[in-house]
Amino acid sequence: MKQSYWHLVWGQFKRQRLALFSLGLVLLLGSVALLASWLSPYPPDFYDLNRILLPPGGAHWLGTDDLGRDVLSRLIYGAQVSLSVGFVAVSIYVAIGILLGALAGYYGGWIDMVISRAIEVMMCFPTFFLILAVLAFVGPSIYNIMIVIGITQWTGIARLVRGEILKFREREFVLAARQAGAKDGRLIFKHLLPNALAPVLVSASFGVASAILTESALSFLGFGVPPQTPSWGSILSQAQAYMDTAWWLTLAPGLAIFLTITAYNLVGEGLRDAIDPRLKDVL
């Protein structure tokens, strides 16, 4: 029986144990974020001034902070914020990149020139400082962070999709569909984009890690979510004053950020190795 392309990709991916383990970690982190209200032992804003800066152990597995709040609870709820920013921001810029890249690659001419010049202009600006500049005007909030990251990081996806569309638009199956009377929209979305999405999936995996790191850095600098909202970056920022006396306050969020970003990057690398152009010859 002839196997599908994605079935072959999954078979190649499963052979990479580190990537498979990272995928399991990614799914575990996502489950923790979704079930935060059931898994968290305390509300994230519950504080007890009689339990300030308690070390890990007993009723508080990861200790408490300077207001007596449970670090584990805030870390679990922080996963919701950080992962939400990562997925929503990536969804925004993947959608923008796919649309603009497909238009540039399919139509060419002046449309390609305008979109390509816009990509080059956007890439001239350091992304992180551009995000900081925009947030300085619109104000920091979780929704603004999602939108700003989404509208400033679409260039890589657009270039990738444009290249893939250019590669496929003169193939026999596209020419046959055009001769059969298929309109431009059908050609782009039914015949071209499905063949161009494999590398986009790889880029999106790396993009989630990048967006989580960006959100954490923004929150650490005070340009991210409001201080009362638990996110890994803000938890790490609030722990700066206690690095010498309360080591667990920096270790817990720092380790969460490190493991999450590493897991998504390893999944991306696994997908990149699994989605090999030679697999298409087997189909």
- Cβ count near 95 (within 10 Å): 13
pLDDT per residue over 34-75, tens digit each? Answer: 999 899 999 888 888 888 888 898 888 998 988 889 999 999
Confidence bin at 282 (pLDDT 50/70/90): very low
**For residue 246, what are the contacts with CB-CB under 8 A and spacing of at least 6?**
53, 55, 63, 65, 66, 239
| Burial profile 154-192: b = 16 or more Cβ within 10 angstroms, e = fewer | bbbbbbbbbebbbebbeeeebeebeeeeeeeeebbeebb
pLDDT per residue over 100-123, tens digit each? Answer: 999 999 998 899 999 999 999 988
Which own/partner pairs from 33-40 qualify as long-range (CB within 8 Å, at least 24 positions apart)? 33/76, 33/79, 33/80, 33/83, 33/84, 34/80, 36/76, 36/77, 36/79, 36/80, 39/76, 40/72, 40/73, 40/76, 40/77
pTM, to two decimals: 0.87
Give the pLDDT of residue 162.
Answer: 92
- Whether residue 199 is predicted with pLDDT greater than 80 in this model: the reply is yes
Domain 79-224 has CATH 3.40.50.1100: no
Domain ranges of the chain: 79-224
